[in-house]
Amino acid sequence: MRNGLNRALCLVILWGVPAAVWPAPATPSPEAVVDTGANPQPPVSSQVARKELQLLLDDGLKLLSRELVTEGTFYPFAAILGHDQQVRLIGTPRPYREAPPGQAVAALVTKARELAREQRLRAVAFFMDYMATRQDTGFAQPGIRVELNHIDADPMSVFVPYRVTDDKKLRLLTPQYKPGKHVVFQDSD
């Protein structure tokens, strides 16, 4: 398992545990991010950037699967890639856990922008539980919405439909990719 991923896994697993059971946090808030590998590097090729974004997507999907199966949903979170190539998570800040998901995502974006200004990250993926309406049938389809931003690549928006089987396994269906919007590395429109 990658360095730092154990801490991230614990963060994701704890999301499903009631707050009363949580141990006292070592830091003032769960969104605090320890050393993110600040060491700006020259731009990378689009192929390298795509691999880095795929790494964030894959790691985030692995980490949220357990909670999604057991709880039926998950708190929005961000997976970030530092200049040291380590993946870390930023959890939903405590004050936003009972707020609408849009407010939690806005707090995550604010934190990611702060880290980008400090040149402490090169890519970020925002994960949200999402219910989409299928254009072909009009029926609701649960999925995972992921907004991918990279310092050296165009942003991408991914919708990964899923279903939970009767034997409590998460089945990811064919992802849908479309152009996204820079919300971290450039001013958003």
Range of the domain at 114: 5-179
Q: What percent of the chain has pLDDT above 90?
A: 58
Decide: 92 and 75 in contact? Cβ < 8 Å.
Answer: yes
pLDDT confidence of 5, banded at 50, 70, 90?
very low
Among 1-10, 51-60, 72-81, whose mean pLDDT is lowest?
Answer: 1-10
pLDDT confidence of 90, banded at 50, 70, 90?
very high
Query: Is 159 domain-assigned?
Result: yes
Parallel, antiparallel or unpaired: strands 170-172 and 153-164 = antiparallel
- Is 187 strand, coil or helix? coil
pLDDT digits (tens, 9 = 90+) for 109-126: 999 999 999 999 999 999
pLDDT digits (tens, 9 = 90+) for 25-55: 333 334 444 444 444 555 667 889 899 999 9
Query: Is 188 domain-assigned?
Result: no
Query: Is 14 domain-assigned?
Result: yes
The pLDDT, as a whole number, for residue 29 is: 37
The pLDDT, as a whole number, for residue 162 is: 95
pLDDT digits (tens, 9 = 90+) for 157-174: 999 999 999 999 999 999
| Location of structure tokens 């040149």 | 119
Structural domain total, the chain: 1
The pLDDT, as a whole number, for residue 165 is: 92
Residue 80 identity (one-letter amino acid): I
Query: Is 187 domain-assigned?
Result: no
Query: Is 185 domain-assigned?
Result: no
Query: Is 186 domain-assigned?
Result: no
Query: Is 189 domain-assigned?
Result: no
Q: Which residues lie below 8 Å from residue 65, measured CB to CB, with a gap of 6+?
A: 170
Decide: 32 and 120 in contact? Cβ < 8 Å.
Answer: no
Decide: 124 and 182 in contact? Cβ < 8 Å.
Answer: no
Q: Which residues lie below 8 Å from residue 42, measured CB to CB, with a gap of 6+?
A: none
